[in-house]
């Protein structure tokens, strides 16, 4: 079911984008995508996305039950321009919660791609029976994502002051934003 998800969208600049699940065939494109993310934005990612071996290990062993990754593909050149993941805990007491991680290529920001990706993942999460979605975002670094999440009815649940340390030695707050999913998807 999840493997068959496909959605064609148009961005503000009229770019044609295909949103679909990541597959093992996407390894080189995904590595290229993450290599184009500026280094000053990679430091807060939890995974070794720039490490080809680590990325290859993950992509070749995809488990959609644990992590469901969607990619946005520019249909004109088949490049990956965004990645969003739904992480689902294995612990039974936490299975009702999904955690979101998102990254959008710098050239595709402020074109509504991030919010569109989040909307698609919200619908998928609801179809999987997820009751709450959580996103951990770094202040002063992910302000656009924080605004997008707020517009999509994510609420700040916690703020860990000075929790994340940047490469420059500066500390940033980590905020945890949560969206409670409804049976009737009428809030979009």
Please state the rounded mean pLDDT for residues 55-74. 89
Please state the rounded mean pLDDT for residues 49-64. 80
Cα–Cα dist 120/123, whole Å: 5
Cα–Cα dist 50/54, whole Å: 8
Please state the rounded mean pLDDT for residues 1-19. 88
Cα–Cα dist 185/160, whole Å: 30
φ, ψ of residue 12 in degrees (nearest 5): -55, -35
Closest residue by Cα to residue 17 from 78, 83, 102 = 78
pLDDT of residue 131: 94
Expressed in angstroms, the distance from the first to the final Cα of the chain is 23
pLDDT of residue 154: 94
Checking if the pLDDT of 64 tops 70, the result is yes
What domains can you pick out in the chain, each with its CATH number? 2-180 (3.40.630.30)
Please state the rounded mean pLDDT for residues 52-66. 84
pLDDT in tens, 84-133: 999 998 888 888 999 998 899 999 988 989 889 999 999 999 988 999 99
Count CB neighbours of 1 within 10 A. 8
Checking if the pLDDT of 55 tops 90, the result is no
Query: For residue 52, what are its two tokens?
Result: 């080809």
Strand, coil or helix: what is 100? strand
CA pseudo-torsion sign 153, 47, 113, 73: negative
Query: For residue 61, what are its two tokens?
Result: 């062993």
Model confidence at 39, in pLDDT bands (50, 70, 90)? confident
- DSSP bridge pairs for 156: 177
Total-model pTM: 0.86
Cα Rg of the chain (Å, integer) = 16
Percent of the residues in the chain that have a pLDDT greater than 70, as a whole number? 91
Checking if the pLDDT of 183 tops 60, the result is no
Summary mean pLDDT of the chain: 87
């Amino acid at each position: 079911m999840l493997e068959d998800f496909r959605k064609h969208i148009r961005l503000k600049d009229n770019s044609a984008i295909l949103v679909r699940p990541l597959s093992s065939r996407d390894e080189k494109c995904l590595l290229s995508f993450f290599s184009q993310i500026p280094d000053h934005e990679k430091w807060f990612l939890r995974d070794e996305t720039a490490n080809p071996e680590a990325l290859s290990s993950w992509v070749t062993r995809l488990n959609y039950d644990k992590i469901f990754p969607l990619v946005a593909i520019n249909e004109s050149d088949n490049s990956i321009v965004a990645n969003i993941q739904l992480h689902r805990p294995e612990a039974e007491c936490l299975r009702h919660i999904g955690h979101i991680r998102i990254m959008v290529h710098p050239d595709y920001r402020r074109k509504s791609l991030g919010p569109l990706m989040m909307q698609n993942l919200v619908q998928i999460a609801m179809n999987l029976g997820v009751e709450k979605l959580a996103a951990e975002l770094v202040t002063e670094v992910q302000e656009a994502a924080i605004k997008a999440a707020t517009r999509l009815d994510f609420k700040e649940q916690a703020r860990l002051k000075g929790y994340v340390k940047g490469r420059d030695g500066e500390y940033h707050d980590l905020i945890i934003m949560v969206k409670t999913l409804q049976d009737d998807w009428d809030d979009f």
